[in-house]
Amino acid sequence: MHWPAIQKSPASWKVPPNLLDYGDTVAAFSWDAIRAELQGLPQGRGLNIAHEAVDRHADGPLGERTAIQWLGADGNASAVSYRELKRLTNRFANVLHALGIAKADTVGVLAGRIPELYIAALGTLKHTSVFCPLFSAFGPEPIFQRLSRGDAKILVTSEALFRRKVDVLMDRLPALQNVLLVDADDHRSGRLLSLPRLMAEASEDFVIPPTSPEDIAVLHFTSGTTGMPKGALHVHGAALTHYMTGKFVMDFHADDVFWCTADPGWVTGTSYGIIAPLLHGITNIVDEVDFDAVRWCRILESEKVSVWYTAPTAIRRFMRMGIDPAQAYDLSRLRLVHSVGEPLNPEAVIWGVKALGLPIHDNWWQTETGGIMIANFPSMEIRPGSMGRPLPGIEAAIVERVGENEVRVIEAPDVQGDLALRPGWPSMFRSYLHDEARYQKCFVGGWYLTGDLARRDADGYFWFVGRADDIIKTSGHMVGPFEVESTLMAHPAVAEAGVIGKPDPLIGELVKAFVSLKPGFAPDDALRLELIGFARKRLGSAVAPKEIDFKPDLPKNKAGKIMRRLLKARELGLPEGDLSTLEESR
């Protein structure tokens, strides 16, 4: 199926994009020039993310600007200026120091999106210990796994989360020196301490120790979509990628108000929900509440959000509910909408034009890459269904494996293969935690293999095909689930689709779709046949699904991604594998 490109005319730009000409910007690009736009620690003591994100603004003309505009679940809101954020993160760094925490020790944070999470994250980076976010909806076992694998010395959490999830783990976590409770007025017995009290006793002056760009800054676990989550280690030098992508993809300008809806428990919520906007000295919106369509529309309007970064799962929920935000709300400040995390169906890009008054810009990256690698830039024509083009400074290619240790770059356009990146960009992960062998295996013949399959068209746009694990081999064809799902999504009844390969003695694998419907549509045989016919007409009988099952909801992980491996395991009656990130309600 083909969706027409969305052209952009300079007349429609509210501000001229930072990246005006793709070819010129790529040709002139150097990481040194990006580094020169950051400040570095005084006296050449290195590069520290928190210095770049907080202190250099706090000590300059942006000091009184709101760094974090926090919106609480109870209706309360608070604004933290860059200057205030510097004082608070200094205090937190001093708290770690007073507790004897050393450089490179891990500090876990298990909290909802409350101000303390952001203070702890940036304070930890200042202190040069390692920030390890834990999604607050994890149950005890995933929390245990991450804290023990990460050798966490400190955990920051709330009384309620501690009682419900961590208390039972304490005996199994001997290396965990202290738990800092964000809402306890006083220290408890044993290892439990009051964070407010420690913060009150700590000095608000702190000198960031020398920080090498290669010092480990963040330990991020992957989303567990394809298996057991892996711990990816990131360094302070990653700030260069965060800054550069903030400039060219998010297109940050001085007065922007930015809202990234991801939770810092996922890499997007840290790289773009904390670091990138603060590196640019703009105002970052943090909403404590999870997806709520009406609340989200109100936030876009009342906070005058100009750049919005969200995910296909949220966009599909708006689509399913039939809500067109721009009709009922004043979104005149909204300039750019971006999406990441899963393939963005063309239908969703087009929905943006109608419902938000703006097309949605898809971009691609993964926990391992630390920042955006391929994107639809604000100045570029959007080809719905495409992830866009590689960032300046990023070399991406479609390759195929030839033998154990070699790959061949596929130069011809429109050929499906492994999506690979040339190693060496600043936010590239430096290892998988306790699994160096697995890390090394990702690098073959001078390329980092991403585990995703894609193709590149003649103009250099990349098109996501599927995860290598999800590819369906049917009658000699390689079918990517994304193409089939996107086609089904184009039918008015379909809210969401997940496609798998089901073993079949005749054709290898049979394409099977699981579909959830929009309200008002009945999951009956007539609709099943109609959908099969609809897909066949557009995809041909070899690629179209042969079986369709209706489901009220598709299984997703807590990051909102459809878990095709679980659809498959359940279909085949196989073990379900690691479910630590599964969204419970599904």
Which positions touch ligand ATP (CB under 6 A)? Answer: 222-227, 229-230, 266-267, 340-344, 362-364, 366-367, 387, 450-452, 464, 467, 559, 561
Q: How many CB atoms lie within 10 A of CB 14?
A: 11
Nearer to ligand ATP, 451 or 460 (CB): 451
For Mg ion, the nearest residue by Cβ is: 222
Q: Which of residues 297-356 bind Mg ion (CB under 5 A)?
A: none
Q: Which long-range contacts (CB under 8 A, 24 or more apart) does 212-217 make?
A: 212/46, 212/47, 212/236, 213/46, 213/47, 213/237, 213/240, 213/426, 214/430, 215/46, 215/103, 215/104, 215/128, 216/104, 216/130, 216/430, 217/49, 217/125, 217/130, 217/131
> In whole angstroms, how close is the CB of 436 to ligand ATP at the nearest point?
17
On whether the CB atoms of residues 179 and 192 are closer than 8 A, the answer is: yes
Q: Torsion over CA of 220, 223, 227 and 229, rounded to 10 degrees?
A: 20
> In whole angstroms, how close is the CB of 368 to Mg ion at the nearest point?
7
> In whole angstroms, how close is the CB of 329 to ligand ATP at the nearest point?
26
> In whole angstroms, how close is the CB of 394 to Mg ion at the nearest point?
18
The footprint of Mg ion on this chain (CB under 5 A) covers a number of residues equal to: 1
Nearer to ligand ATP, 66 or 222 (CB): 222
On whether the CB atoms of residues 286 and 261 are closer than 8 A, the answer is: no
Per partner kind, with CB cut-offs from 5 to 8 A, the member of Mg ion, ligand ATP, none near residue 118 is none
Nearer to ligand ATP, 93 or 391 (CB): 391
Nearer to ligand ATP, 245 or 367 (CB): 367
- Residues 511, 568: Cα–Cα separation, whole Å: 11
- Residues 324, 318: Cα–Cα separation, whole Å: 8
The CA-atom distances, in angstroms, between 154 and each of 108, 130, 131 are: 6, 10, 10
Per partner kind, with CB cut-offs from 5 to 8 A, the member of ligand ATP, Mg ion, none near residue 386 is none
Displacement of CA 241 from its chain's centroid (Å): 14
Burial class of 3 by CB neighbour count within 10 A (0 to 12, 13 to 18, 19+): middle
Per partner kind, with CB cut-offs from 5 to 8 A, the member of ligand ATP, Mg ion, none near residue 198 is none
Greatest pairwise CA separation for the chain in angstroms: 72
Among 116-124, 160-168, 216-224, 264-272, the segment contacting Mg ion (CB under 5 A) = 216-224
Q: Which long-range contacts (CB under 8 A, 24 or more apart) does 566-573 make?
A: 567/498, 567/500, 567/514, 568/500, 568/501, 568/502, 571/500, 571/502, 571/512, 572/502, 572/503
Per partner kind, with CB cut-offs from 5 to 8 A, the member of Mg ion, ligand ATP, none near residue 296 is none
- Residues 571, 511: Cα–Cα separation, whole Å: 12
Nearer to ligand ATP, 82 or 429 (CB): 429
> In whole angstroms, how close is the CB of 454 to ligand ATP at the nearest point?
8
The first and second tokens of residue 15, run together, are: 């501000």
Among 215-223, 474-482, 494-502, 570-578, the segment contacting Mg ion (CB under 5 A) = 215-223
Per partner kind, with CB cut-offs from 5 to 8 A, the member of Mg ion, ligand ATP, none near residue 18 is none
Nearer to Mg ion, 66 or 222 (CB): 222
Nearer to ligand ATP, 48 or 223 (CB): 223
Per partner kind, with CB cut-offs from 5 to 8 A, the member of Mg ion, ligand ATP, none near residue 364 is ligand ATP
Nearer to Mg ion, 198 or 562 (CB): 562
> In whole angstroms, how close is the CB of 59 to ligand ATP at the nearest point?
34
Per partner kind, with CB cut-offs from 5 to 8 A, the member of Mg ion, ligand ATP, none near residue 418 is none
The CA-atom distances, in angstroms, between 431 and each of 34, 172, 231, 420, 467 are: 24, 26, 8, 17, 21
Residues ≥6 apart with Cβ < 8 Å to 42: none
Site map (CB under 5 A) of Mg ion, residues 221-240, x = contact:
-x------------------
> In whole angstroms, how close is the CB of 349 to ligand ATP at the nearest point?
11
> In whole angstroms, how close is the CB of 463 to ligand ATP at the nearest point?
9
Residues of 156-167 as b/e, b for ≥16 C-beta within 10 angstroms? bbbeebbeebbe
On whether the CB atoms of residues 394 and 373 are closer than 8 A, the answer is: yes
Nearer to ligand ATP, 329 or 364 (CB): 364
Per partner kind, with CB cut-offs from 5 to 8 A, the member of Mg ion, ligand ATP, none near residue 81 is none
Residues ≥6 apart with Cβ < 8 Å to 111: 117, 120, 136, 156, 157, 158, 161, 182
Q: Which residue in this structure is represented by tokens 């679940």?
A: 73
Per partner kind, with CB cut-offs from 5 to 8 A, the member of Mg ion, ligand ATP, none near residue 341 is ligand ATP
Could you give phi then psi for residue 558, rounded to 5 degrees?
-70, -15
> In whole angstroms, how close is the CB of 358 to ligand ATP at the nearest point?
17
Per partner kind, with CB cut-offs from 5 to 8 A, the member of ligand ATP, Mg ion, none near residue 464 is ligand ATP
Nearer to ligand ATP, 223 or 379 (CB): 223
> In whole angstroms, how close is the CB of 576 to ligand ATP at the nearest point?
14
Nearer to ligand ATP, 372 or 535 (CB): 372
Nearer to ligand ATP, 181 or 340 (CB): 340
Which DSSP helix (H) or strand (E) runs through 326?
helix 325-328
Q: How many CB atoms lie within 10 A of CB 526?
A: 8
> In whole angstroms, how close is the CB of 344 to ligand ATP at the nearest point?
6
Nearer to Mg ion, 69 or 222 (CB): 222
Beta strands in 505-546 (DSSP E): 508-517
> In whole angstroms, how close is the CB of 448 to Mg ion at the nearest point?
12
> In whole angstroms, how close is the CB of 344 to Mg ion at the nearest point?
17
Using CB under 5 A, list all residues that contact Mg ion.
222
